[in-house]
Amino acid sequence: MKKQNLIFAIAVTGIFFRHLAYCDMVFAQLNMLYTQTSNPSTSTDFAYAITSDTSGIYVVGYDNYSGNNRWYMEKRNLSTGVFIWSQISNSSVYADAALAITADTSGMYVAGYDQSPGPGNYQWRVEKTNLNTGALITSFGT
pLDDT in tens, 68-98: 888 999 999 988 889 999 999 888 888 899 9
pLDDT of residue 98: 93
Query: CA–CA separation, 102 vs 115, rounded Å?
Result: 23
pLDDT at 27 over 90: no
Residue 99 gets the label, from left (phi > 0), alpha (psi -120 to 50) or beta, of: alpha
The helix/strand/coil state of 43 is coil
pLDDT tens, position by position, 8-22: 444 443 333 444 445
Query: CA–CA separation, 94 vs 84, rounded Å?
Result: 28
pLDDT of residue 106: 94
pLDDT tens, position by position, 97-111: 999 999 999 999 999
pLDDT-derived band at 126 (thresholds 50, 70, 90) equals: very high
Provide CB contacts within 8 A for 2, sequence distance 6+: 26, 27
pLDDT of residue 40: 79
pLDDT of residue 94: 87
pLDDT of residue 84: 95
The mean per-residue pLDDT over the stretch 105-125 comes to 91
pLDDT of residue 23: 47
pLDDT of residue 102: 95
The pair phi, psi for residue 95, each rounded to 5°, is -70, 125
pLDDT tens, position by position, 41-72: 777 888 899 999 999 999 999 888 888 888 99
H/E element holding 58?
A: strand 56-65
